[in-house]
């Protein structure tokens, strides 16, 4: 690791620690300002956001796309700064930000997969459930993660996410270890709406576009006998805090058709995104991989 990388890591960590204890209103406004700034600076991710929005909402005008992209960046910036509290704050600081609204009995130790789509409040829902699990002696939460390019913050994020008894499981971990976690009754968080490449994936529709999507939810549910519930963490109407909604188990899921299950899950996520388009993670190249012979959608 170079000295410059060390300086960056030290500064970034110091900023996170600072915002973990500053007034929450100041944190929110700083996040909005950061997001607005990034939105107006030409960069690759800004292009990705607008490309995704144009693909998914073809009926919107150019001005409407610009407006939606700006709102997304403001909420994304807010979520980045809010993670200072979520990762480094006390349990009370976290539960003050996020309220859990569950259609299932939490702590009953039933094998379950909680499908956590990439909304800006994703980290808050995961951490709030971990705080409550620790306080009420519920089974712990276990989430799948993808290694970051920065090894310093990769290790820090694992430590922060696990500090209330949770467990971070690398996506490439052995299948039997993950199934054991599920069958023990621990909460298993999976965010399947990200393009991880062709391995263990199929092309199924998402906003009418054939989208490379992992099949792990259907396969894990079948192998472990787990129920599958949707878990979405979204802004309250007053925009002062979030609510994490955990749905009842999806009916007749999984089936014997992995591809149909995966397409159905994409449809559930699409419906949720249409309700709150600005809160979705459009910064990801959701359509990165294409079916054989199709050109890139991001050129």
Does position 155 have pLDDT exceeding 70, yes or no?
yes
**Number of structural domains in the chain:** 1
- Residue-wise pLDDT tens digits, 224-256: 999 999 999 999 999 999 999 999 999 999 999
Instruction: Classify residue 295: in a domain, yes or no.
Output: no
- Residue-wise pLDDT tens digits, 50-109: 999 999 999 999 999 999 999 999 999 999 999 999 999 999 999 999 999 999 999 899
**Distance separating alpha carbons of residues 232 and 125, to the nearest angstrom:** 8
**Distance separating alpha carbons of residues 225 and 112, to the nearest angstrom:** 8
* Band of pLDDT at residue 178, cut at 50, 70 and 90: confident
Instruction: Classify residue 215: in a domain, yes or no.
Output: yes
Instruction: Classify residue 292: in a domain, yes or no.
Output: no
**What are the b/e assignments for 59-81, b being 16+ CB within 10 Å?**
eeeeeebeebbbbbbbbbbbbbb
CB 240 within 8 A of CB 248: no
Q: 268 lies in which domain range? A: 3-279
Instruction: Classify residue 200: in a domain, yes or no.
Output: yes
* Band of pLDDT at residue 143, cut at 50, 70 and 90: confident
* Band of pLDDT at residue 172, cut at 50, 70 and 90: low
- Note the pLDDT of residue 1: 54
Tokens 């060390």 locate to: 6
Q: What is the mean pLDDT of residues 200-218?
A: 97
Beta-carbon count within 10 A of 131 CB:
23
- Note the pLDDT of residue 280: 98
Beta-carbon count within 10 A of 244 CB:
24
Instruction: Classify residue 133: in a domain, yes or no.
Output: yes
* Band of pLDDT at residue 174, cut at 50, 70 and 90: low
- Note the pLDDT of residue 49: 98
Considering the chain, what is the average pLDDT of its residues?
A: 92
Instruction: Classify residue 289: in a domain, yes or no.
Output: no
Number of H helices, E strands in the chain: 10, 9
Instruction: Classify residue 284: in a domain, yes or no.
Output: no
Long-range contacts of 10-19 (CB under 8 A, 24+ apart): 12/153, 13/156, 15/84, 16/83, 16/84, 16/87, 16/88, 17/84, 17/88, 18/84, 19/81, 19/84, 19/85
Name the residue with higher pLDDT: 274 or 199: 274
Per-residue CA distances from 101 to 2, 63, 133, 275 (Å): 45, 36, 14, 18
- Note the pLDDT of residue 52: 98
Instruction: Classify residue 293: in a domain, yes or no.
Output: no
299 three-class SS: coil
Percent of the chain with pLDDT over 70: 98
- Residue-wise pLDDT tens digits, 2-37: 877 778 888 888 888 889 989 999 999 999 999 999
Beta-carbon count within 10 A of 181 CB:
21
């Amino acid at each position: 690791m170079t000295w410059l990388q060390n300086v960056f890591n030290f500064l970034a960590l110091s900023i996170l620690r600072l915002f973990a204890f500053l007034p929450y209103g100041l944190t929110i406004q700083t996040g909005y300002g950061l997001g607005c700034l990034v939105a107006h600076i030409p960069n690759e991710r800004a292009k990705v956001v607008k490309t995704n929005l144009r693909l998914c909402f073809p009926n919107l005008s150019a001005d409407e796309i610009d407006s939606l992209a700006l709102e997304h960046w403001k909420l994304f910036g807010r979520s980045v700064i809010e993670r200072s509290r979520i990762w480094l704050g006390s349990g009370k600081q976290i539960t003050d930000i996020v309220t859990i609204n569950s259609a299932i009995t939490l702590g009953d130790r039933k094998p379950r997969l909680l499908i956590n789509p990439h909304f800006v409040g994703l980290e808050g829902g995961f951490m709030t459930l971990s705080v409550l699990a620790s306080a009420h002696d519920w089974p712990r939460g276990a989430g799948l993660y993808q290694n970051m390019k920065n090894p310093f913050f990769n290790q820090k994020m694992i430590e922060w996410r696990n500090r209330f008894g949770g467990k971070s499981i690398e996506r490439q971990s052995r299948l039997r270890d993950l199934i054991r976690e599920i069958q023990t009754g621990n909460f298993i968080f999976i965010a399947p709406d990200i393009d991880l490449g062709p391995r263990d994936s199929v092309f199924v529709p998402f906003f009418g576009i054939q989208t490379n999507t992992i099949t792990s939810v259907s396969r894990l549910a079948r192998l472990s006998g787990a129920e599958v519930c949707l878990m979405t963490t979204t802004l309250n109407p007053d925009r002062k805090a979030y609510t994490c909604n955990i749905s009842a188990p999806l009916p007749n899921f999984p089936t014997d058709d992995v591809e149909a299950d995966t397409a159905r899950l994409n449809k559930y996520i699409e419906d949720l995104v249409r309700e709150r388009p600005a809160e979705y993670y459009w910064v990801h190249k959701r359509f990165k991989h294409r079916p054989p012979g199709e050109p890139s959608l991001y050129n």
